[in-house]
Structure 1
Amino acid sequence: MRRVLVALCAALLAAAGAVIALGSPAYAATGLHVVGTDIYEANGNKFVMRGVNHAHTWYTSQTSSFANIKAAGANTVRVVLSGGRWTANSASDVANVISMCKANKLICVLEDHDTTGYGEDSAAYTLDQAVNYWISLKSVLAGQEDYIAINIGNEPIGNTNPSQWTAATTAAIKKMRDNGFQHLLMIDAPNWGQDWQQVMLANGQAVLDADAQHNTILSIHMYAVYNQASTITSYLDTFKSKGWPLLIGEFGWQFAAGEVDDQTVISEAVKRGLGYLGWSWSGNTDPVLDMVLSFDVNQKTTWYGRVFDGPNGIKATAREATVFGGTSTSSPSVPPSSPSVPPSSSPSQPTGKTCSATYAITGQWPGGFQGEVKVTAGGSAISGWTVTWTYANGQTVANAWSATVTSSGATVTAKNAGYNGSLAAKGSTSFGFLGSWTGTNSIPTPSCTAS
C-alpha cells in the first residue's frame, strides 16, 4: 500500500495508549473453501497460500508481473483493484487478470483497495460500496471459484472508531451471499489491517457466523505494530485458541529498528500452516517495500531475498494448487477430538491386494461433526479402494470430499476419487466428510477392500 508507512506511524502513535475450541462446520463448496482453520480446494486438497501482493490497479500495463511472480516460486498473488477511488478496473480488465493468474498457475486473491482506512481517510469507500463493486463484476467472477478468492475490502477501517468494523463486515458478507457469490471470502482487520486494538480478535466469531456458507477466512496485516516476536506469537496463539481461520494477507520487513519482525512472521506462519502474502512485488512510493525495483526481475532487493529465500521462504514452502496439476498435499487435518480406531484390514483378495482404514472425528458441534478416514495400502500397490462402516447411533453423512460416499440405512460406503485410488505399497490417502448426530456420536470400525 502506497500510504502504508504514514498510516502505520499513526497506528503506532495511537497504539501507545466465548472461546471456541473448534471452527464452525464447513459446507459443500464450489471451489476454494474453508474447513476448520484451513483452506481446501474443491477436491479436498489442503492449500496454503504462499505469495505476494501486486499493485495492479496503479500499474495495469505491468502484466508480465504475473509470470515473474510465478517464476519466483509463488502459488498465490493478491491483486490490488479499484472500483473508482483510483482508475476503476473494469470487468474486462478483471477477467484478464483472472486469465493471467490461471495461465501462470497462480491462485488469485482479488481485493478492492478503495476501502483502505475508512473513517480516518476521507477518500475511502465503505464496505457496502465495495460489495457493490463486486456485484458489478459478478459476470466475470462467477464460475471462477476454483481459482479466486474475494478480499471484500482492503484494510476497511482505519484507527477512527474501529468498532464499526464488526457491523460493517457482517453486513458486507451477508450482502455478498445474498447476491449469489459462492467464493471463498477474505476479511481484513481494522486499524489499517493491523488490529492493534484487537477488534477482530474480539469479534471474529460474529463475522464468521455471518457467512451462511461458513466459507470466510480472516486476514491480519503485519507491519510495525508487530516489531517483536512476542507480539506476533501472542496474536497468533490467541487466534489459534479460538479455532478461527487466519491468513497473513500483508506484511513488510525489518528494514530499520522498530519495523516488523518479518522472519518471525514467516517462520511462525510455516510452523502453524498459515498462508502468507508479502507486500509487495513492485511499484511502492517508498521502494523499500519493493521486492523487485521498477518491475525488473534483474533488480531484486533485500526484501525479495527475505521473503522468497530461506528454509521458510516462498521457494521452499509454496505448493502449486492441484487445480493446476500440483501435487496433492493432504485432506482436512483438524486434530481429532476422539481417538482413532486402530486400523482394521479386510480379508486378503485373490490378487493379494489389501488395505486398512482408520476413522476419526476431527471436529464436533451440536448436531453436526466433521470426520476423516485414512486409507492405507497393504504390502502391495493398489489401484482402487472401498471403505465401509456402519453407524450404531443414527449418524448420517451429509457431504464428502476426496471420495464418493453413499449411504444405505446405517451403512456408509466410500469409494476412491479418480485421483487418489492408486496407492503404492504402504502408501496412504485420506478423505473427509460432514455429518449429523444426536445423543451419541460413537466411532464405528471401518473395513477396507482394495483392487
Structure 2
Amino acid sequence: MKRRIVTLGAAFLVVVASVLVFVKPADAAVGLHVEGRDIVEANGRPFVMRGVNHPHVWFTGQTDSFADVKALGANTVRVVLGSGKRWGPSTDVANVISLCKQNRLICVLEVHDTTGYGEEGAAASLDEAVDYWISQKSALVGQEGYVVINIGNEPIGNVNAGQWTAATAAAITKMRANGFEHLLMVDAPNWGQDWQYVMRDNAQTVLDADSRHNTVLSIHMYAVFNTAKAITDYLDRFEANGWPLVIGEFGWRFNANEVDHETILAEAQARGLGYLGWSWSGNTDPILDMATDFDPARLTTWGQRIFNGANGIKATASEATIFGGGPTGTPSPIPTPTPTESPTPSPTGGGKACAAEYRVVGQWPGGFQGEVRVTAGSSAISGWTVTWTLASGQAVSQAWNATVTTGGSVVTARNVSYNGSLGAGVATTFGFLGSWSGDNAVPTLSCTAT
C-alpha cells in the first residue's frame, strides 16, 4: 500500500483538484478568502498556491521538511494530519502552524482519515473529521490569515459517490456553526478524482451551504487525468461557472497511462490556479517522492520537474504578503545559510521616503530566487522605484509584482498598478529569479518614492 495512502492504492491512481468555490466575496474577511475565482489575502492581494504535500502524520520527526520545501521555492505546504480514526491523532496542530509560519508558508491542513469513505471500511466520515477540527479549535482560531482547513482528504470513494454533496454541505455548515471563519477547502469524491462529476455538477449547492461564502473546491489529478483533453475539459467547466479552483494533489507521468503533469502545470499557470503536488517524500511506492529520504539535495526526477521545470514552483511562486510586513501581518524570519537582507532607507524629494530590503528565498547551483520588500516611510507614497547593481556573474531572468528592467549591470524595479500606493509604514514585496556564478553577493539597494 502506498504511503500516498489508500488513495492511490484503489482501482487506479486518484486525482483531487481543489476547486475554489465562489458565490461572492467572504463577508468581513478575516484572512484568506475567496473573491470571484481567486483566493485573496485579507489585504485584497491574490494568492496563488504553489507547493507540495507533506505526509506529516506518518513522519512527525521530519520537521526540517518545512524549511526544505520553502528553500526550494514553495509558498504553500499541504500537511497530512490524522483524526485518530485511522492515523494520529494529530495533537500537534499548533506546532505545525508554527513551523509553517516560521518558514513563511501558507499552511493547508487536512484530515487524511476520510480517504475513500463508503468504499474503504476504516475511513472516517466528514462529520467525524469536523469533530476533530472542533477538538483543535484553540490552535486554529486567530490563524485565518495563515491557515486553510481542508476538511477531509478524498472523503468519498467510488461507492455511492452521490452522497458527497449532502455530506460536504453538512460538514461546511457544522464548521461555520462552531465558529470557524477560515477559508475551507473541500475535496472531490471518487477518491478525489471526480470521474463521475458529482462535484463538478453540484458545486454550487456546496458553495451555497457556506454562510461565509468562503469555500474552495479541490480536485486531485492522477490517472483519470492522463490526457490534455481530460484536464482542460474539466478545468473549463469550473472556469465557465466562475468557481475558483485549486489542484490539491497531482502526480507525474512516470508511464504513458499516468497523469499529464505538463498540461496541469501549464494550465494552472495560464489560468492562475493554485497547485500542490503529491508528495515531498515517504511514499511506500517511492515513484511519487520528490525527495529521496526527505533529502532536498537528492531530488528525484519528479522533484526536479515540479520545483525547477517550466511552470514549476521556482518559476511561478510568489510568497504571501502576510509574511512581508504589509497590512495583514509582520515578517517571520526564515533561517538561511548566508546573509540575505540589505535594508536601505532612501529619502526622496518632498519629504517622502521608502526603504528596500533584499532577501534570498532559495539558492541552488547557478540559480536563486530573490525577494525585495519595499516599505513606505513616515508619509504615504503613490509609487516606488528600486535599483541595484548586479555583481559579476549575476543576472535577473524573471520577476513578478514589479516591472523589472536591466541596463548593463543596473537593475531597475518599478511598482505595478496594484502595489504602488502605500500608506505610511506599509510594505509590499516583489520577487524575481536570477542566476549567479562566483559569489551570489547581496547588493545595496536604492529606493525612491513619489
What's the counterpart of residue 45 of structure 2?
45
In the other structure, the counterpart of 2:347 is none
Using the TM superposition, give the Cα deviation of residue 88 of structure 1 relative to its aligned residue in structure 2, in angstroms: 2.0
Residue 3 (structure 1) aligned with residue 2 (structure 2): no
Match of 1:324 in 2: 323
Q: Residue in 1 aligned with 2:29?
A: 29
- 2:299 corresponds to: 300
Deviations 1:177-223 (A, max 9, x none): 00000100000000000000000000000101111101110000000
- Could you tell me whether the CA contact under 8 Å between 1:101 and 1:108 is conserved in 2? yes
> Structure 1's 419 and 289: CA in aligned 2 closer, same or farther, altered over 3 A?
farther
SS at the partner of 2:171? helix
Ranges in structure 2 where 5+ consecutive residues have no aligned partner: 16-20, 328-349, 353-378, 383-420, 429-448
Output aligned runs, 1:23-422, within 5 Å: 23-91=23-91, 93-325=92-324, 383-384=380-381, 417-418=423-424
Cα gap change, 1:317/1:8 in structure 2, threshold over 3 Å: closer, same or farther? farther
Name the SS of the counterpart of 1:7 in structure 2. Answer: coil
Aligned mates of 2:7, 2:84 — CA distance in 1 = 20
Structure whose CA Rg is larger: 1
In structure 2, C-alpha distance between the alignment counterparts of 1:137 and 1:220, rounded to whole Å: 25
Q: Percent identity?
A: 64
Deviation at 1:86, TM superposition (A): 3.5
Task: Give the superposition deviation at 1:318.
Answer: 0.5
| Post-superposition offset of 1:418 | 4.8
1: CA distance, partners of 2:165 / 2:252 = 29
Task: Quote the offset at 1:298 in angstroms.
Answer: 2.3
Q: Distance in 2 between matches of 1:50 and 1:10?
A: 22
TM-score, normalised by the number of residues in structure 2? 0.71
Deviation at 1:301, TM superposition (A): 0.2
Is the CA contact (8 Å cut-off) linking 2:52 and 2:278 kept in structure 1? yes
Distance 2:44 2:25 in 1: 15
Unpaired stretches in structure 1, ≥5 consecutive residues: 13-20, 329-350, 354-381, 386-414, 423-449
* Change in CA separation of 1:90 and 1:231 when aligned onto 2, cut-off 3 Å: closer
Measure the CA separation in 1 of the matches of 2:22 and 2:116. 32
Cα 1:22–1:116 change in 2 (3 A) is closer
CA–CA distance in structure 2, aligned partners of residues 10 and 64 of structure 1: 28
Give the drift of 1:6: 2.2
- Could you tell me how far apart the structure 1 residues matched to 2:158 and 2:10 are? 9
Could you tell me the TM-score, scaled by structure 1's length?
0.71
Task: Return the offset for 1:9.
Answer: 1.7
The number of equivalent residue pairs is: 338
Q: Which amino acid aligns with 2:70?
A: K
Cα distance change on mapping 1:11 and 1:247 into 2, 3 Å: closer
Distance (whole Å) between structure 1 residues aligned to residue 197 and residue 131 of structure 2 = 28
Structure 1 distance, partners of 2:325, 2:7, is: 34
- Give CA deviations for 1:24-68 in whole Å, capped at 9, x if unaligned: 343221111111111111111111000000000000011110110
1:56 counterpart letter in structure 2: H
1: distance between equivalents of 2:11 and 2:424?
49
Is the Cα contact below 8 Å between 1:384 and 1:416 reproduced in 2?
Answer: yes
